[in-house]
Structure 1
Amino acid sequence: MGIWASKHVEETLTHSHEFHMACNSIYEDSVSLCQHLFPGILPYQLSDASNRLHQKLKSSLSLIQKWVPLPPSQVQIDRALKKIEIEKGNGCETLTLTLDEFKALEVELFRDAVVFNAGKMVLQRVPIGIGIIWGLGIGTGVKGGLMRKAMAVYSVGVAGSVYLSLSG
């Protein structure tokens, strides 16, 4: 979908009260599960934490409900983990994520999922609509220039409607 859509989704997530409350709750639960032996979330806890966050956000955040039907996979989590910067010297030899790092990871993870699924939606809708316009144009005898303009307007309209729906 592009960088504008990505930034738009990122801003929606980072300014969402529901997102921050859910991240805080799941972070605290994850740290408690390790009985506070570590100063943050361990990498092996990320899959479960992301799944629980998806469940919470799916019921409270329309952006996630509409564009992220399934919880993130381990591959998506690993990819997002590589993209964020994790401070190594947090007082523990074991790699752990602070609350801010966990939130950054989840923003990265859900932003990528939303943008990917929105792009997929555009790629599904545009060819179908263009095929219909082309078929109607041929059937009615409309000239090629007008059909090309109609196809371009339709494509921009679909991309615009998907982009506008990313506001959540």
Structure 2
Amino acid sequence: MGISGSKRVKTTLSNSPEFHSACDSAYEESLSLAQHAFAGVRPYQLLSAAAHIHRNLSSFPLIIRWVPSPPSQSQVDSALRVITSRVTAADILGPEEFEEWATEVFTETVVGNARKAMASRIPLGIAGIAGIGAVTRSGQNLIGAAIGVYAVGVATSVFLSLS
């Protein structure tokens, strides 16, 4: 997965008009809820903003497949730490920083859930292949090759679904 998977997801989100629209809507809602008391979005508003973005992207294929529920508080905070390490005014996020944060949080959520899917699918498949190999008394080389092909197939399937 690594860097390539993250870049693939980040590019998909960054090039999506639906994602930009959802970010703009969440940003405006956050400002409205704070009655425009701040020049941007405060960190305490980010969890509800993430839920708002998730709700607005309910028909976006990448979100449907890999983000069944809104990002958690820890995912929101982790993305905020990444963004604030690059920005000087960390206590208020302007529109650009907000969209950068949203891209980061949803990229990491998608990639994290894809990793979990691979971590659960590969061992189950390997156990199944090994079990069939034991029952049929196939050669170890054949079983090893089948396991390798299966693992590569699962990894490729997950990677290709990240766009």
Q: Deviation of residue 37 (structure 1)?
A: 2.5
CA–CA distance in structure 1, aligned partners of residues 27 and 8 of structure 2? 25
Aligned to 1:96: 92
Q: TM-score, normalised by structure 1?
A: 0.91
Q: Deviation of residue 18 (structure 1)?
A: 0.3
Counterparts of 1:45-84 in structure 2, within 5 Å, are 45-57=45-57, 59-84=58-83
CA–CA distance in structure 1, aligned partners of residues 126 and 4 of structure 2? 24
CA–CA distance in structure 1, aligned partners of residues 87 and 71 of structure 2? 20
Query: Alignment RMSD, CA only?
Result: 1.3
Q: Deviation of residue 76 (structure 1)?
A: 1.3
Q: Which of the residues 100, 109, 115 maps onto 1:113?
A: 109
Aligned to 2:140: 144
Percent identity over the alignment is 49
CA–CA distance in structure 1, aligned partners of residues 103 and 23 of structure 2? 10
CA–CA distance in structure 1, aligned partners of residues 77 and 125 of structure 2? 36
1:104 maps to a residue whose letter is E
Counterpart check, 1:41 vs 2:37: no
Q: Deviation of residue 32 (structure 1)?
A: 2.1
Runs of 4+ residues deviating >6 angstroms: none
Q: TM-score, normalised by structure 2?
A: 0.94
Contact 1:86 1:97 (8 Å CA) reproduced: no
CA–CA distance in structure 2, aligned partners of residues 36 and 150 of structure 1? 60
2:130 maps to a residue whose letter is W
CA offsets 1:107-126 (integer angstroms, 9 cap, x no match): 11111111111111111111
Aligned to 1:91: none
Q: Deviation of residue 149 (structure 1)?
A: 0.7
In structure 1, runs of 5+ residues without a counterpart are 89-93
CA–CA distance in structure 1, aligned partners of residues 75 and 128 of structure 2? 35
Contact 1:126 1:158 (8 Å CA) reproduced: yes
